[in-house]
Amino acid sequence: MPKMKTKSSAKKRFRLTGSGKVRANPSCKRHGLRKRPKKMKRQSRGTMILSAADARIVKSYMPNA
């Protein structure tokens, strides 16, 4: 059986917290910010915790994390 490899795109975009939750950066912050509401830009600062359904998918991409 070959080694299980981590998807390179996942290790660049996601990190696991100490309790096992998946932390990610919010989307929609690259360009076209003039048309987005100030509230959306403010709430998209920093990182966010993914929902349980999304976290399960991401964790399958990172078997060694």
**Which pair of structure tokens corresponds to residue 16?**
């696991």
pLDDT tens-digit series, residues 15-64: 999 999 999 999 999 999 999 999 999 999 999 999 999 999 999 999 99
Contact between 65 and 23 under an 8 Å Cβ cutoff? The reply is: no
Residue 1: which pLDDT band, with cuts at 50, 70 and 90? confident
pLDDT at 62: 96
Beta strands in 1-65 (DSSP E): 14-16, 22-24, 48-49
pLDDT-derived band of residue 65, with 50, 70 and 90 as boundaries? Answer: confident
Whole-angstrom Cα distance, residue 20 to residue 25?
A: 16
Q: What is the mean pLDDT of residues 5-20?
A: 96
**pTM of the shown model:** 0.83
Report CA torsion sign: 40, 43, 49, 52: negative
